[in-house]
Amino acid sequence: MEYYLFKRIQKKLITVLILVISSGLLVIFGNFPVHANSHLHPLPATLSQWRDLTNSGDYFDQVQPVKVGYLIWSLFPVKVKIEIPTGLNEAETHSWMNKVAQAVQEWSVYLPLKIVEQSESADITIWRKSPPMKPIVNGEFPRARSALTTYELYNNNNNNIVSHRFTILLSPSQTSEYVLAAARHELGHALGIWGHSPLQTDALYFSQVRNSPLISVRDVNTLKRVYQQPTALGWSG
């Protein structure tokens, strides 16, 4: 996993960071102290009611806070827009959209999500689009990315609330059998798990595997712990 910090584009745009799915390496550019205005939000009912009867543990220590704290949603349902892909026939389009929608439905068990039609209202937007290539290092061409998740922070002009939105890119070269797994993985990041699991049995495992795991107990345990942390998101800046 790598983070790249882009320049400020507009006044309301604070930071853009990119999470690279194809690597387990975490690199943070800059020393970001936790925002001074960080507070706790009430735990969403879906997570408050969650109980792990298997004592499976979590990988919360792999989740990285950023400048505003943890990437937590506080207004529900979180609105997800699945953009209609191009370059596919009708059957292929239907199949791709259904796989991504299934990933949204799977995560909806643990956090309230809603698929919306209007891009302007979306908190998370998912595209069938090639992620940009990583830079060439020491003359070596990087491996193509299979998926990419980015977020941006901004101040809501109406109430000065610190807010965020996510964009997910799923590579068109991704084989159909892995589209669901990739969407499931990326949505985990977009819902707040800004890190990777070291175990192949978790949906947020840092690399793609042959037998793609479902959302695991450890994934949900980690998500719950994230939502028990302070953040500046959802509070006045």
CATH architecture group of domain 13-226: 3-Layer(aba) Sandwich (3.40)
Q: Please say if the pLDDT value at position 16 is more than 50.
A: no
What mean pLDDT comes out for the span 84-88? 95
Segment 172-206, tens digit of pLDDT: 998 888 999 999 999 999 999 999 999 999 999 99
What digits encode the pLDDT tens for the residues 58-80?
Answer: 999 999 999 999 999 999 999 99
CA distance 19 to 106: 22
pLDDT at 130 over 50: yes
Partners of 162 in the beta sheet? 155
Residue in this structure with the two tokens 């909806």, named with its chain if needed: 108
> Directed axis angle between helix 176-190 and helix 90-108, to 10°?
40
pLDDT at residue 151, rounded to an integer: 97
Query: How far is it, in rounded angstroms, from Cα 166 to Cα 124?
Result: 5
pLDDT mean across residues, the chain: 85
* Short-list 59, 3, 1, 57, CA closest to 31: 3
Supply the pLDDT for residue 197.
Answer: 98
Query: For 17-58, how does the pLDDT look when each residue is reduced to its tens digit (9 = 90+)?
Result: 444 433 333 333 333 445 568 999 999 999 999 999 999 999
The domain segmentation of the chain, as residue ranges, is 13-226
Please, what is the Cα angle at 194 between 192 and 197, to 5 degrees?
Answer: 110
pLDDT for residue 233: 97
Q: Please report the beta strands in 40-86, taking only residues with DSSP state E, as ranges in sequence order.
A: 78-82
The pLDDT confidence band at residue 236, using thresholds 50, 70 and 90, is confident
- The DSSP code for 66 is B
Quick one: pLDDT at residue 66?
Answer: 95
